[in-house]
Amino acid sequence: MWTPLIIAVVVGCAALVGWAGWRAVADRPVILRQLVAAGVVEALLVVEVVVAAVSSATGAGPADVATFWGYLVTTLVVLPVAAVWAFAERTRWSSVVLLVAALTVAFLQYRLVQVWAG
């Protein structure tokens, strides 16, 4: 239940990294379809929050509670900021920012797994 969700988020992030990277190289800004894809990843992150909260409530919570929730809340903020910037910055640099945002979310998944296990 937990691991497939992490894998789904990481795969989604990898797809976003590739797509945004390709558009950055092609000197193109972020398009709406990419933001829809980012929205799907964001929805998976919200599911993670629910799963983590339910697990914690039933006694199987993270080893390091404060760090875990710190990472999880941070994760939720990253893609929306990149999305707002995609509207403000209509150059290739919005693509570069989306790429970095997706990388950050993927890296935070790795840290979340680490912190959960302790």
Partner 1 sequence: MTAGHPSAPSPPAGDGRTATGPGRLVVAVYAVLALAATGRSAKQIAVDFSTAPLAYSLSAVAAVVYLLATVALARGGPRWRPVAWGAVGTELVGVVVVGALSLTATELFADATVWSGFGQGYGYVPLVLPVVGLWWLARTRPRRGPTDR
DSSP single-letter state for residue 113 = H
Q: Which of 9, 94, 102, 112 binds partner 1 (CB under 8 A)?
A: 94
Stretch that binds partner 1, among 11-19, 36-44, 49-57, 99-107 (CB under 8 A): 99-107
Give Dmax (Cα) for the chain: 49
DSSP-based three-state secondary structure for 100:
helix
CA–CA separation, 58 and 28 (whole Å): 47
DSSP-based three-state secondary structure for 34:
helix
Stretch that binds partner 1, among 13-21, 31-39, 45-53, 63-71 (CB under 8 A): 63-71
Which amino acid would we find at residue 53? A
Binding of residue 38 to partner 1 (CB under 8 A)? no
Binding of residue 1 to partner 1 (CB under 8 A)? no
Q: Which of 97, 102, 106, 112 binds partner 1 (CB under 8 A)?
A: 97
User: By the 8 A CB rule, do 97 and 16 touch?
Assistant: no
CA–CA separation, 107 and 90 (whole Å): 26
Binding of residue 74 to partner 1 (CB under 8 A)? yes
Q: How far is the CB of 6 from partner 1 (least distance, A)?
A: 20
| Binding residues for partner 1 (CB under 8 A) | 27, 29, 66-67, 70-71, 74, 78, 81-82, 85, 88-94, 96-97, 100-101, 104
